[in-house]
């Protein structure tokens, strides 16, 4: 069977036009998502319902024919599996029981396998429902990013609670991150064995760390995950999306061992070009160009294709699609990328 385009690019091939998918492509900008979400009840109920999670994963594939589907779930199912009482407050975001240093020795990963079984079942159903040429991406949050939500108990603008935690007790932070890395590696391996073709690690909050802290708390635990994956599945393909990592992106690839770098929209094209000389890159259209449409969208797409389209590129946004993105603009984006010839 022919290898999916996304996987060929992750192998290092250049394809013209490049394969295309969008972070958060299953979401509130789609009426069919909102309908399924209403049937499920809460967002977390949807994540743990294999049939409905598979349905919303497949919706954007049916509508737009993207080259990859991404498992519908959330990075915070890992702390949920640890019993940190996760809930999502409508219009505000996640809330968890804030984690203190004393709680770390009591964290018990033994319930995770059973707790996450519905997600693994969703992976199996999605793969069965996808066209062969469409890749299925599994994912998890990077340990540092997941830890920031566990420690603050919510999203914060600069992750000050977790940075202070890490500077006051770095050994405790190491222990927390190792536990999350080991759980995440097991979780990704189960996704790969259930039918995911590759995985992406979401490091949304790496950009708040100084260099030494970035190496210790962001790079080191992700390197641990990648090493565990490769020990079990030597050719496992991994994308690392380290939002805001800027000047540390090159080190992030070399020192974690990820195959491809996901780039946010603030990475300049000449920097992206240099990173692409070392391996595949993914990105990096500003999601608000998609909301604005018209010239803003066309110029943004053309700049990425013009600079990165003759090397290994996976076209994507630089972060998740927002609920106010018009469907007609997504259609225009797909047309413009598909019309590209290097
Ligand atoms: O990309 C996809 O389509 C796959 C699904 C996916 C979701 N979350 C679904 C979701 C993925 C890959 C994520 C990752 C995730 N979740 C990250 C890393 C990427 C990033 O955005 O930085 C983070 C930090 C989270 C935690 C999280 N989940 C927050 C902060 C929020 C609230 C903000 C919001 O957009 O509402 C969520 C909720 C969430 N995760 C939604 C979806 C579709 C919205 C929930 C809803 O339907 O009401």
**Cβ neighbours for 1, distance < 8 A, ≥ 6 positions apart:** 132
Q: Which of 23, 24, 45, 206 to mutate to test the pocket of ligand 1 (most atoms within 8 A of CB)?
A: 24
Say if residues 316 and 22 touch (Cβ distance below 8 Å). yes
How far is residue 283's CA from residue 117's CA, in Å, rounded to a whole number? 31
pTM of the model: 0.97
Over 80: is that where the pLDDT of 53 sits? yes
Give the mean pLDDT of 330-336. 98
Q: What band does 342 get if pLDDT is binned at 50, 70 and 90?
A: confident
Give the mean pLDDT of 182-211. 98
Q: How confident is the model over 57-84, as pLDDT tens digits?
A: 999 999 999 999 999 999 999 999 999 9
Say if residues 22 and 66 touch (Cβ distance below 8 Å). yes
At 260 the three-state DSSP class reads strand
Q: Which of 87, 314, 320 to mutate to test the pocket of ligand 1 (most atoms within 8 A of CB)?
A: 320
Q: How confident is the model over 29-47, as pLDDT tens digits?
A: 999 999 999 999 999 999 9
Q: Enumerate domains of the chain plus CATH numbers.
A: 5-286+301-324 (3.20.20.210)
Dig out the tokens for 289 from the structure. Answer: 């160009």
Say if residues 189 and 232 touch (Cβ distance below 8 Å). yes
Ligand 1 pocket list (CB less than 6 A): 23-28, 37, 43, 70, 72-76, 88, 93-94, 139, 141, 155, 202, 204, 320
ipTM of predicted assembly, 2 dp? 0.91
């Amino acid at each position: 069977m022919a290898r999916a385009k996304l996987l060929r690019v992750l192998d290092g091939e250049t394809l013209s036009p490049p394969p295309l998918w969008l972070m958060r492509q299953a979401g509130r900008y789609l009426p069919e998502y909102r309908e399924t979400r209403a049937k499920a009840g809460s967002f977390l109920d949807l994540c743990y319902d294999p049939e409905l999670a598979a349905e919303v994963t497949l919706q954007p594939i049916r509508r737009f024919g993207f080259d990859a589907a991404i498992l519908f779930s959330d990075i915070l199912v890992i702390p949920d599996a640890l019993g940190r009482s996760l809930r999502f407050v409508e219009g505000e975001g996640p809330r968890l029981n804030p984690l203190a240093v004393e709680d770390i020795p009591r964290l018990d990963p033994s319930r995770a396998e059973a707790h996450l079984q519905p997600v693994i079942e969703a992976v199996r159903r999605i793969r069965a429902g996808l066209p062969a040429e469409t890749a299925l991406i599994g994912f998890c949050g990077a340990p540092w990013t997941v830890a920031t939500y566990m420690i603050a108990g919510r999203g914060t603008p600069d992750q000050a609670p977790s940075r202070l935690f890490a500077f006051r007790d770095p050994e405790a932070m190491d222990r927390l991150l190792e536990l999350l890395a080991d759980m995440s590696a097991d979780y990704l391996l189960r996704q790969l064995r259930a039918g995911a073709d590759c995985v992406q690690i979401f490091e949304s909050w790496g950009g708040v760390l100084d260099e030494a802290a970035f190496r210790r708390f962001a790079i080191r635990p992700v390197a641990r995950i990648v090493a565990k994956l490769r020990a079990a599945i030597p050719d496992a393909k991994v994308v690392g999306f380290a939002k805001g990592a800027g000047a540390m992106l090159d080190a992030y690839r070399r020192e974690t061992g990820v195959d491809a770098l996901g780039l946010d929209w603030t990475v300049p094209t000449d920097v992206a070009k240099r990173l692409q000389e070392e391996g595949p890159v993914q990105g990096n259209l500003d999601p608000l160009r998609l909301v604005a449409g018209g010239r803003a969208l066309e110029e943004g797409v053309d700049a990425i294709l013009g600079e990165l389209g003759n090397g290994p590129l996976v076209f994507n946004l630089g972060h998740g699609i927002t609920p106010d993105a018009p469907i007609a603009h997504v259609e225009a984006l797909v047309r413009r990328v598909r019309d590209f010839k290097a």
